[in-house]
């Protein structure tokens, strides 16, 4: 199963690969060169399909849990000052996505969207300390009765060139459902209330829509 955001890229890449395969077979007589070109083209198609895969996840909806919004590795767990929306101290959990991870963003909890804003920006590597403030990004605030308001931020990395965000202010969303997509990698930061119990550790690999990041 593939994400809808990859439809046109997948179709274009498939046609491009087919064209390369047919063209090389017609125009190139050197067998090893023809085979090499066809293998490279097929490899490129496989990479694109890998980027846009969208595996089905059976999320157990629980209002007392914050689940991982994306697949990746936990690279930061620390108390920080969140200055865009809350303007106070928050617990930040950052999950870094490599190019081979699933790139779908899922809602970390059910609730109401209070805030949703896109910021154009740079494309520093996703682990750069200033990436969360200077890179292209979206900031989304969700609220429910258990945790109050939390913020998650989709951050573009050095390879990512488009962030897709489906959250709209006033919308009621369901934990684990599709919240967007970050094309070709980067990271997602979660900003949670101080005192929230964190259920993950640094360098832990998490699966979006499944693993519990925090709980009451």
Q: What is the pLDDT of residues 98-108, one digit of tens each?
A: 877 878 999 99
The number of folded domains in the chain is 2
pLDDT at 72: 93
pLDDT at 124: 61
Query: What pLDDT digit, counting tens, does each position of 18-34 carry?
Result: 888 888 888 888 888 88
Q: Are 92 and 74 spatial neighbours (Cβ–Cβ below 8 Å)?
A: no
pLDDT at 30: 85
In a domain, 58, yes or no: no
Q: Across the beta sheet with 197-198, what order do the strands follow?
A: 65-67, 212-215, 197-198
Whether residue 28 is found in the same domain as residue 130: no
Whether residue 139 is found in the same domain as residue 171: yes
In terms of pLDDT, which residue wins out, 2 or 106? Answer: 106
Distance CA 40, CA 16 (A): 12
Whether residue 76 is found in the same domain as residue 174: yes
Whether residue 24 is found in the same domain as residue 128: no
Q: Are 142 and 201 spatial neighbours (Cβ–Cβ below 8 Å)?
A: no
* Residue 8, φ and ψ in degrees, nearest 5: -70, -40
In a domain, 60, yes or no: no
Q: Give the range among 121-135, 142-156, 195-209 with minimum mean pLDDT.
A: 121-135
Whether residue 34 is found in the same domain as residue 79: no
Place of tokens 């573009």: 156
Whether residue 104 is found in the same domain as residue 189: yes
Q: How confident is the model at residue 3 (pLDDT cuts 50, 70, 90)?
A: low
Q: What is the CATH number of the domain that holds 122?
A: 2.70.70.10
- Reply yes or no on whether 132 is catalytic: no
**Mean pLDDT, rounded, for 37-48:** 84
In a domain, 197, yes or no: yes
In a domain, 56, yes or no: no
Whether residue 126 is found in the same domain as residue 204: yes
Indicate whether 6 pLDDT > 70: no
pTM for the predicted model, two decimal places: 0.82
Whether residue 208 is found in the same domain as residue 184: yes
Whether residue 182 is found in the same domain as residue 94: yes
Q: Are 95 and 155 spatial neighbours (Cβ–Cβ below 8 Å)?
A: no
Mean residue pLDDT of the chain comes to 87
Whether residue 45 is found in the same domain as residue 147: no
**Mean pLDDT, rounded, for 48-72:** 88
User: Residue 188: which of 118, 126, 114 has the closest Cα?
Assistant: 126
In a domain, 94, yes or no: yes
Whether residue 37 is found in the same domain as residue 86: no
Question: Pick the catalytic residue: 94, 110, 139, 186?
Answer: 186
Q: What residue numbers bound the domain in which 164 lies?
A: 65-215
Q: Across the beta sheet with 72-82, what order do the strands follow?
A: 172-173, 111-119, 137-144, 148-155, 186-192, 88-97, 72-82, 205-206
In a domain, 88, yes or no: yes
Residue length of the chain:
216
């Amino acid at each position: 199963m593939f994400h809808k955001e990859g439809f046109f890229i997948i179709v274009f890449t498939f046609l491009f690969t087919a064209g390369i395969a047919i063209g090389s077979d017609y125009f190139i007589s050197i067998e090893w060169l023809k085979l090499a070109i066809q293998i490279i083209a097929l490899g490129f198609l496989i990479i694109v399909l890998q980027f846009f895969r969208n595996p089905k996840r059976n999320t157990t909806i629980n209002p007392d849990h914050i689940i991982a919004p994306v697949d990746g590795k936990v690279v930061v767990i620390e108390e920080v000052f969140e200055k865009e929306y809350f303007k106070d101290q928050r617990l930040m959990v950052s999950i870094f996505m490599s190019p081979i991870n699933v790139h779908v963003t899922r809602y970390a909890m059910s609730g109401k969207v209070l805030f949703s804003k896109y910021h154009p920006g740079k494309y520093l590597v996703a682990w750069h300390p200033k990436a969360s403030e200077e890179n292209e990004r979206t900031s989304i605030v969700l609220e429910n009765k258990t945790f109050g308001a939390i913020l998650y931020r989709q951050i573009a990395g050095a390879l990512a060139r488009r962030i897709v965000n489906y959250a709209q202010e006033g919308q009621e969303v369901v934990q684990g459902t599709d919240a967007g997509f970050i094309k070709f990698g980067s990271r997602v930061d979660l900003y949670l209330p101080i005192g929230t119990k964190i259920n993950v550790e640094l360098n832990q690999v998490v699966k979006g829509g499944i693993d519990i990041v925090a709980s009451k």
